[in-house]
Amino acid sequence: MDRILILDNDAAHADALVRALRRMDRSIETCADTRLAIAKCLTDATDVLIVVPASPRDWKEQLSATCATLKSRVDHPAVLCVLRWMPQGPMDRLFGDALGIEVQHER
């Protein structure tokens, strides 16, 4: 069973993601703090980290720092970024490609 950690400071949104993923028979935890989420990924056997940034203002810095820390380990989790605002052309996806992660916009 995949272990998924959702990093999202919006509790209602995180709960909706948990409900959707539980139907797929996954073990899911949520965390609202980036530092705590990274620590969990480094100590637990997390398979997937879903990052839901709070705002378009600093999401790239948050994601870059998170990925850099996690990728220092050989067994780092896969990272998926879910953006909750309108796409700004292909740049968001290309930024994720450069980090080796998938960036999706919520519809």
**Can you give the pTM of this predicted structure?**
0.92
- Tell me the one-letter amino acid at 13: H
Range of the domain at 27: 3-105
CATH of the domain at 90: 3.40.50.2300
- DSSP H or E segment with residue 103: strand 102-105
Listed residue (41, 37, 53, 39) closest to 78, CA to CA: 41
Q: What is the pLDDT of residue 2?
A: 86
Phi, psi of 21 (to 5 degrees): -75, -30
* pLDDT tens per residue across span 43-58: 888 999 999 999 999 9
pLDDT band per the 50, 70, 90 thresholds, residue 1: low
Q: Give me the number of domains the chain comprises.
A: 1
Q: Is the dihedral of CA 36, 60, 8, 105 positive or negative?
A: negative
